[in-house]
Amino acid sequence: MKIAIIFFQLGIGGIQRKTVDLINILTHQKKVKEVHVILNTRENFNMIPLLNQKKLRLHIKQESILCPKKIPFWFFINTMLLKTHPDSTLAFLDYCSIASLHYAKYKPGKPPRIILCEDGLTSAYTNYHQDPLRQWLIRRHYPSADRIICPSRAIRNQLIRKYKIPIEKLVIIPNWSSVGKPNKIKGKKYDVIFAGRFEHQKNVSYILKAFRDINNVLPFATLVMVGEGSQKPRLLKLARFLNIRHNVSFRSSTNRINRIIQQSRIMLLSSRYEGMPVVALESLALGTPIVTTNFIGVKDFIRHGENGFICHSKKEMISYALQLLQHNKLRKHMALKAIARAQKDFSRKHAFRYAQMLTNSDGK
């Protein structure tokens, strides 16, 4: 059978890490003959080299001679699906999902099974971008999908409430961490880590402002910021303005992110909205407790006071971060709880559930 997987790019991010894991599982299955990966761009930093090339077929709009730059990615998705004739299709997030559903609706003959993965809180994203057309398209087209995978109960519930998606179409498969048993390391290099995209959704300036107050109490504390994004110049400027630039290091995205997380005492997250961030699951699996803002869905992976802290204000974030940094016994206790929770609830078995859904003849 042939499978198509659709997303914008394989650069940085949790969806990208999930996609790489899933592709490498699928390409080792006998019944899978080809895995077609349809992308919009090839990022400077990308995970394509991590893919098993056997059975893999890459289709990148940016590099296609068949698709001029002015042609939208939506058109390229439909063209590639028409050309490759997949038996099953997995599309991430609403733009790619709507394009694949459009193809299935108008394709002559038997359409492929369409599996969607709603990895973000769609209502928050579309509200921020003030895009009523996109919301209408979700309501109109999503019910025709064979299945919609939701990483958390929060995402499933908002699809039911806001978009009236039938509950029988929705299945919860949590995100996962591919981290095995953490390696022992000698000491910690960083006190605090943030890892993610430097974009509005992640609210990264909140981290710098909180760390400024942490640094006032612990003058030698260090923060490492791992990622890329449009707000990076602004964040560098803010770090200088807050007079913490000498305590903050900015690192570009790297395939060695797990090592940097393990070298950090705690992770701070400040997202305005999320699905179930893979970087947080990796942090738990590596024994790095998390102090996070209270976004929708956070309670699906953080148990307050057990494997991390959920904060309702910047003051709380600073207080909880200082508790963990100043009390090694508490931090190590939480680290053990975090590892146990990740191994129990967010293991790689969920990646095989994705693969099973794509390869089963009934799509279930």
pLDDT digits (tens, 9 = 90+) for 285-328: 999 999 999 988 899 999 999 999 999 999 999 999 999 999 99
Q: 190-346 belongs to which CATH class?
A: alpha beta
Q: What are phi and psi of 36, to 5 degrees?
A: -95, 120
**2-176+348-359 maps to which CATH number?**
3.40.50.2000
Q: What pairs with residue 92 in β-bridges?
A: 117
The tokens describing 349, both together, are: 């078995």
DSSP-derived letter for residue 54 is: T
Sign for the pseudo-dihedral over CA of 16, 113, 152, 154: positive
CA 261 to CA 105: how far, in whole Å? 44
Q: What pairs with residue 195 in β-bridges?
A: 226
Rounded to 5°, the CA angle 232-237-242 comes to 120
CA 80 to CA 133: how far, in whole Å? 24
Which strands, in side-by-side order, build the sheet including 34-39? 56-60, 34-39, 2-6, 88-92, 113-117, 147-150, 170-172
Q: What are phi and psi of 137, to 5 degrees?
A: -65, -40
- The gap between the terminal CA atoms of the chain, to the nearest Å, is 16
DSSP-derived letter for residue 104 is: H
Tell me the pLDDT tens digit for each residue of 98-122: 999 999 999 888 899 999 999 876 6
pLDDT less than 50: residues of the chain: 363
C-beta of residue 296 within 8 angstroms of C-beta of residue 154:
yes
Q: Output the CA torsion 155→8→169→25 (10° steps).
A: -100
Those residues with Cβ within 8 angstroms of residue 338's Cβ, 6 or more apart along the chain or in another chain? 283, 284, 285, 287, 288, 289, 290, 307, 308
For residue 364, the model assigns a pLDDT of 55
For residue 172, the model assigns a pLDDT of 96
Q: Output the CA torsion 88→90→91→92 (10° steps).
A: 170
DSSP-derived letter for residue 134 is: H
For residue 82, the model assigns a pLDDT of 95
The tokens describing 44, both together, are: 């400077």
For residue 362, the model assigns a pLDDT of 56
190-346: same fold as 2-176+348-359? yes
Q: Output the CA torsion 141→145→149→155 (10° steps).
A: 30
For residue 278, the model assigns a pLDDT of 94
Domain spans of the chain? 2-176+348-359, 190-346
